[in-house]
Structure 1
């Protein structure tokens, strides 16, 4: 089968005007402005099969959103080729829009003062849906995403997590084959993130939906996608299974614990790096290949009553930096000289 998304040496260059200081807004400023060329995407090539769930990640400014905008026909590339479901996005944008859905986490498409059901109705007319087909589709999405209690509430009164579930429903009403997700969990709390991930996974399993995801949240990548592509400075630096990414670069965990009693002087931790220590708690960095998370948590809970405990991934920027260094033949290993907390042992 032919890939549903195909990119070949896709590039995008922007020309930005840099004005001289102190002349803002004047005709002279326009005359003296310097033009700066920025290469946002520097020749990306990839293929995506139908039903695949791809994480397309990178630091801010790496070219993720620019790539998605070219794939959805919003931007024209400077050079290169791309096809999405057999369409050239920037040439056949109208026809392609009936086959794809897109969600930009910081750019809502629901009408702010209207309930979601009104936006759904509007979209059914925009996509020229048969009324019977629209009702069936709406019913399926309401059940799959748990929207029954949200439909008639104005969007402005919904929580961010509730609104994002409604955004997904709006993007999928017309039955697209590919869903582009640009930072869908940004700003959500832990519970809302997991709820949204579960909903996306359910829809993928039900309809063999192809997912093209960008995110700064390692949890999104781990829980949703089997393949990950990392870009940096507009170029692909890693393309492999998510399991390989986890094995090589998602080994570190940040463990924060607050005890129900002050920490004694003889408290220490084996095989973990101390990041921060207070009277009642500590923050530790752990390499899971050296010591499993559940082993450390078990030891901490046996040592003293635990009031609060969190386990987090390091920031995505740090993970990407490690990948970038590894691609330049710099091996990133666990630090054998990790500094323990002085004293006893956990």
Structure 2
């Protein structure tokens, strides 16, 4: 049900990293600490630079465990970029130019090697929400109810999507970025499949149609994953297909709600969920420097989506129980 979960952010050069101050600082840092190699990550050289930076700055974010930074693959060049970013930010602020982005991202204070602490925490909250609510679903819905397994598949896909979101916000590298996008896209696609199967419930040949549509969705996801990994990470195309499938999903469920909300009071929960999803996406459309160097619009969007899982699973619980009653009625008539 998430439309903008995969809206990409440019990773090209930004005003901050194009500035002369940042460039000069970076070149000096690389030459003095990384043997002149941007990709150099020799253990001894990195170790010396880690302690040099700690001695110079003495701040809490720069006294993090050396071994944690190494485990998260913060290379010597990465440390130089982080080290040079903050004096450049201060210069922009003092010159009244305003905070600028670096390599397509706002400057964040790193915490124990975590690149975006707030977005990481709020991604975990979203994951926990699904785990908690699927436990409630199991208590209130019989295993024999229609869509019992479907809801579990939905939960698994959402959990892996939020897991990759967590990993990506901990450390943004090409692999974690792609897995974050693909994890979120799998959630969007499965939501479309869920809607399609729900509409066909109890209709003739519904199983065949659901199987065919599921295979089509699955093959498209595999193809998209292959091209993203091995051909090109096309940010514009990625955004386009996510918005397209998300719009179909939202529009479809909205029409379904309009059709049944008078006869089935619990459908209002679905309608409320859709309205809140549309409202929370306003955070994703906003873009401002992080508050306290921690909370940006994207992180606040993740925070706003965390409670929505509760509302959606409440709807799924009531809908599954309703369909269980329908199934029993059909069995009596048979």
TM-score by length of 1: 0.28
Structure with more of its chain in strand, by fraction: 1
Q: Which fold has the larger relative contact order, with Cα–Cα distance below 8 Å and residues 6 or more apart in sequence?
A: 2
TM-score by length of 2: 0.29
